[in-house]
Chain A
Amino acid sequence: MLMVLFPTVMLLPTIWLSPSTQLWTSALAYSVAIALISLSWLCFPMETGWSSVNTFIATDPLSTPLLVLTCWLLPLMILASQNHMAEEPINRQRTYISLLISLQIFLILAFGATEMIMFYIMFEATLIPTLIIITRWGNQTERLNAGVYFLFYTLAGSLPLLVALLLLQNSTGSLSFLTTQLFPPLQLHTEASKFWWAGCMLAFLVKMPLYGAHLWLPKAHVEAPIAGSMILAAVLLKLGGYGMMRIIIILDPLTKQLSYPFIILALWGVVMTGSICLRQTDLKSLIAYSSVSHMGLVAAGILIQTPWGFTGALILMIAHGLTSSALFCLANTNYERTHSRTMLLARGLQMVLPLLATWWFMFTLANLALPPLPNLMGELMIITSLFNWSNWTLLLTGAGTLITASYSLHMFLTTQRGPTTSPILAIEPTHTREHLLMTLHLLPLLLLIFKPTLIWGWAL
């Protein structure tokens, strides 16, 4: 664990002391090295599941895929930001990369935390760099409102979590993940326990986001610059899923009664946000709402607390992280050329950027969960376990799958096929950097087809 954490911390002096011509190169090179080192976490030798253990941080099959995804994403973010940051003063560029690196540090500590208060502090700590990235480096006036919504929605959910965790510490004496999973069931019979349950879950449901509390997400994703959108979509939403999976283990059996409204909201959100996607004119907004849709499925999978549900949720989180981040990168290639997010302005791109059309095609197929990609594996496992939980959920999940396919197809056909508008004919061809970015998103997805047990978690 320290093998990855210390180099990441030392990236900060590297960034500030590099000469300006080597800044992005060295940032990229060292973060790739760190990402490759992080792959070593993927072997799980320990019987108990927890490996790389020291007093404060450890990895287990649940947190390892998310940790590797986080470490993998830093070089991708640096690659994606190179172009739009090129005209800024050099110290602002250094500050921007430092913000990305500090996010990485907090995320590694969050996913690796063994103690719930440490997880909480790191969970909250990720808010500050993300807020700064969105409000300072976003491109429209709405970014200020987006920052406020992002910060306050998340905090309003997570402050009750702090109270709930401290209450838990009073009754159990310890908040270590290593031991709470082995406790005898808590005595949760009073009315106040129901509020305590809600306090534990609310933070993660807002973060995921659950359909009723999702308003911050389209704003934040749309207004953020590309690195902000990537880290938000790929990792920060998964913090919510990860936290929920950790804490729901001790919340039994109260969850059986209390989780109904949230499962319903999650499934209804899949259908509703999918339908909203069909009516979007803003490309980034479409991808943001599709994130809400996929994470609704993840939330439902976690809330029913079955082995297939958990496994499907984790697989879908990883696969969606890579896919959504890639789609935002593709939308950013449009934005860098036209400085507009309106889909209708950048139509028929297959004629103009044919190589990029391949990437659009691959990631659209990934988004609609084409076999044999892990997206399908995750969705299918969740849908199956939901069907087992109650046959009627198939109506909502089936409709959700259909709507996902429709809006993905709509997005592809609108941006790639059809008539090309005349201003588009004069845009730059695709950079090699952008091809590399797309490859690095697709390669893990394809490789995971061959060994999905890496991202199965400990449930199966």
Chain B
Amino acid sequence: MNPYVLSILLMGLGLGTTVTFASSHWLLAWMGLEMNTLAILPLMAQHHHPRAVEAATKYFLIQSAAAATILFASSTNAWLSGQWDIQHITHPLPTVMITIALSLKLGLAPLHAWLPEVVQGLDLTTGLVLSTWQKLAPFALLLQISPEIPLLITSLGLISMLAGGWGGLNHTQLRKVLAYSSVAHLGWMMVVMQFSTSLTALALLMYVIMTTSAFLTFKLLKSTDMNSLAMSWAKTPSVTALAPMMLLSLGGLPPLSGFLPKWLIIQELTKQELGLVATVAALSALLSLFFYLRVCYCLTFTSSPNNLAGVAPWRLESKQISLPLATSTSLSILLLPISPAILSLTLPLF
């Protein structure tokens, strides 16, 4: 893509999220969300492939519907309470509508059906942007509202965890697997939102780090399905050795960093007398762990016992900058021993 066009689009993306972060008026927040949507659409369709165009179209329709609902709900709130302030939504009707609209924007179950198909149609870099950057602005709004409707929030969270877990089980396409993993992680973030917004922010931070590492790993290995992962041990032995750790961290296994948000969220839930919800949440993580484990199997655990000199693929030097991958993989594996420091990153946020 023309670098000037690319820079304008990326600046638009950055500006949109920044505007939403900085806004206290609903219309300005809505404007930031729309800027994000519009800026990412050309990025999605940049390869002019029919599948990419389809993904861009689906994304546009979903996000516009959600943004329109946000506009409607904030107008309703203005009618009912006389002001447009983001943090002063007290009436339950606009609160519920905005929560549902933001869940549609994020891809929380039961409004998640668009996410796998859209991510599948994109190349890995745009998929990364969609899975990480585009989640920040809606979460900023959700965390500011802190909706106090326990039934809605908890059920959104639990259903997301279960839908993300069960939905990802039968896929071989890596982008769909990462989309369902996104849904499941969003469920974890939602379920604790009414009790501790800083834990939601922590879960979001850890999710962004781990997902960045996952997308960058698959980009380096130039593989989009599980079959093509099988020869990665010949291309990059070190990535092949570390990627299972990153994937198991996504699955939430101790002593990797992915365990930290799950541990703290379960602790918060038990403090709030929601032991059964905590147990269901913990066990639903096993569903997602199964498909992460399957990717690990394809990637590393079935690698050949010797170096097969005859059948190795061409080992061309990769042009990808390795620093982001190295940083995000190290962070996604090693952060658990410094948990208090990581928690303090998000504790003062709210």
Give the distance in Å from the alpha carbon of A148 to the alpha carbon of B169 in the complex.
Answer: 14
Contact of B297 among A88, A120, A135, A166 (CB under 8 A): A135
Of all chain B residues, which has the CB nearest A120?
B254
CB distance from A20 to the nearest CB of B (A): 15
Report the stretch among B85-93, B209-217, B222-230, B279-287 that lies at the interface.
Answer: B279-287
Report the stretch among A32-40, A63-71, A121-129, A261-269 that lies at the interface.
Answer: A121-129
Say whether B263 contacts A89, CB under 8 Å.
no
Say whether B244 contacts A132, CB under 8 Å.
yes
Tell whether A251 is near chain B: CB-to-CB under 8 Å: no
Indicate with 1 or 0, residue by residue over B255-289, a CB within 8 angstroms of chain A CB atoms: 11001000100110011000100110011011001
Indicate with 1 or 0, residue by residue over B46-75, a CB within 8 angstroms of chain A CB atoms: 000000000000000000000000000000
Say whether A163 contacts B241, CB under 8 Å.
no
CB distance from B84 to the nearest CB of A (A): 41
Say whether B301 contacts A88, CB under 8 Å.
no
Contact of A148 among B253, B278, B282, B290 (CB under 8 A): B290
Tell whether A152 is near chain B: CB-to-CB under 8 Å: yes
Q: A121 and B259 in contact (CB under 8 A), knowing A95-B241, A163-B282, A170-B270?
A: yes
- Tally of contacts, chain A with chain B, CB under 8 A: 81
Indicate with 1 or 0, residue by residue over A109-133, a CB within 8 angstroms of chain B CB atoms: 0000000000011101101100010
Contacts of B270 in A (CB 8 A): 163, 166-167, 170
Say whether A159 contacts B290, CB under 8 Å.
no
Say whether A163 contacts B255, CB under 8 Å.
no
Task: Tell me how many residues of A have a C-beta within 8 Å of chain B.
Answer: 34
Best-buried of A147, A151, A192 by chain B (most CB within 10 Å)? A151
Contact of A121 among B255, B302, B307 (CB under 8 A): B255
Tell whether A155 is near chain B: CB-to-CB under 8 Å: yes
CB distance from B153 to the nearest CB of A (A): 20
Say whether B289 contacts A163, CB under 8 Å.
no
**Interface SS, A side:** helix
Say whether A136 contacts B300, CB under 8 Å.
yes
Say whether A147 contacts B301, CB under 8 Å.
yes
Tell whether A250 is near chain B: CB-to-CB under 8 Å: no
Contacts of B259 in A (CB 8 A): 121, 124
Say whether A162 contacts B263, CB under 8 Å.
yes
Give the distance in Å from the alpha carbon of A136 to the alpha carbon of B283 in the complex.
Answer: 26
Say whether A89 contacts B286, CB under 8 Å.
no
Task: Tell me how many residues of B have a C-beta within 8 Å of chain A.
Answer: 34
Say whether B254 contacts A125, CB under 8 Å.
yes
Give the distance in Å from the alpha carbon of A121 to the alpha carbon of B252 in the complex.
Answer: 12
Say whether A88 contacts B254, CB under 8 Å.
no
Contacts of B271 in A (CB 8 A): 166, 170
Contacts of A307 in B (CB 8 A): none
Contact of B286 among A91, A128, A152, A196 (CB under 8 A): A152
Contact of B279 among A120, A151, A160 (CB under 8 A): A160
Contacts of B263 in A (CB 8 A): 162
Of all chain A residues, which has the CB nearest B302?
A144
Say whether B255 contacts A159, CB under 8 Å.
no
Of all chain A residues, which has the CB nearest B255?
A125
CB distance from B187 to the nearest CB of A (A): 16
Contacts of B256 in A (CB 8 A): 128
Say whether B248 contacts A136, CB under 8 Å.
no
Give the distance in Å from the alpha carbon of A196 to the alpha carbon of B270 in the complex.
Answer: 12
Tell whether B306 is near chain A: CB-to-CB under 8 Å: yes
Q: A163 and B307 in contact (CB under 8 A), knowing A121-B254, A144-B297, A170-B271?
A: no
Q: A124 and B302 in contact (CB under 8 A), knowing A135-B297, A163-B275?
A: no
Interface residues of B in 235-250 (CB under 8 A from A): 237, 241, 244-245, 248
Say whether A148 contacts B303, CB under 8 Å.
no
CB distance from A216 to the nearest CB of B (A): 14
Tell whether A178 is near chain B: CB-to-CB under 8 Å: no
Contacts of A151 in B (CB 8 A): 289, 293
CB distance from A104 to the nearest CB of B (A): 14
CB distance from A225 to the nearest CB of B (A): 11
Q: A159 and B307 in contact (CB under 8 A), knowing A132-B244, A147-B301, A166-B267?
A: no
Of all chain A residues, which has the CB nearest B283?
A159
Say whether B244 contacts A160, CB under 8 Å.
no
Say whether B305 contacts A88, CB under 8 Å.
yes
Contacts of A136 in B (CB 8 A): 300-301, 303
Q: A135 and B278 in contact (CB under 8 A), knowing A148-B290, A151-B293?
A: no
Contact of A91 among B237, B244, B248 (CB under 8 A): B237
Say whether A159 contacts B301, CB under 8 Å.
no
CB distance from B305 to the nearest CB of A (A): 7
Contact of A155 among B255, B289, B297, B307 (CB under 8 A): B289
Say whether B279 contacts A159, CB under 8 Å.
yes
Interface residues of B in 317-348 (CB under 8 A from A): 336
Say whether A128 contacts B248, CB under 8 Å.
yes
Say whether A124 contacts B275, CB under 8 Å.
no
Contacts of A160 in B (CB 8 A): 279, 282-283
Tell whether A447 is near chain B: CB-to-CB under 8 Å: no
Give the distance in Å from the alpha carbon of A124 to the alpha carbon of B306 in the complex.
Answer: 30
Give the distance in Å from the alpha carbon of A127 to the alpha carbon of B336 in the complex.
Answer: 16
Contacts of A162 in B (CB 8 A): 263, 266, 282
Tell whether A449 is near chain B: CB-to-CB under 8 Å: no
Say whether B254 contacts A124, CB under 8 Å.
yes
Contacts of B302 in A (CB 8 A): 135, 144
CB distance from A196 to the nearest CB of B (A): 8
Contacts of B266 in A (CB 8 A): 162-163, 166
Of all chain A residues, which has the CB nearest B337?
A121
CB distance from A304 to the nearest CB of B (A): 28
Give the distance in Å from the alpha carbon of A155 to the alpha carbon of B259 in the complex.
Answer: 13
Interface residues of A in 35-50 (CB under 8 A from B): none
Best-buried of A87, A167, A196 by chain B (most CB within 10 Å)? A167
Say whether A89 contacts B306, CB under 8 Å.
yes
Say whether A124 contacts B253, CB under 8 Å.
yes
CB distance from A108 to the nearest CB of B (A): 14
Give the distance in Å from the alpha carbon of A125 to the alpha carbon of B252 in the complex.
Answer: 11
Give the distance in Å from the alpha carbon of A340 to the alpha carbon of B263 in the complex.
Answer: 44
CB distance from B114 to the nearest CB of A (A): 30
Give the distance in Å from the alpha carbon of A155 to the alpha carbon of B306 in the complex.
Answer: 32
Q: A132 and B301 in contact (CB under 8 A), knowing A121-B255, A148-B293, A152-B290?
A: yes
Contacts of A196 in B (CB 8 A): 275
Say whether A167 contacts B275, CB under 8 Å.
yes
Q: List 28 A-B contacts (CB under 8 A).
A: A88-B305, A89-B306, A89-B307, A121-B254, A127-B253, A128-B245, A128-B248, A132-B301, A135-B301, A135-B302, A136-B300, A136-B301, A144-B297, A144-B302, A147-B297, A148-B293, A151-B293, A152-B290, A155-B253, A156-B283, A159-B282, A159-B285, A160-B279, A163-B266, A166-B266, A167-B270, A170-B271, A199-B279
Starting from the known contacts A121-B254, A124-B259, 7 additional A-B residue pairs (CB-CB under 8 Å) come to: A147-B293, A148-B290, A151-B289, A151-B293, A160-B282, A166-B266, A170-B271
Q: Which 4 A-B pairs have the closest CB atoms?
A: A159-B282, A135-B301, A124-B254, A125-B255
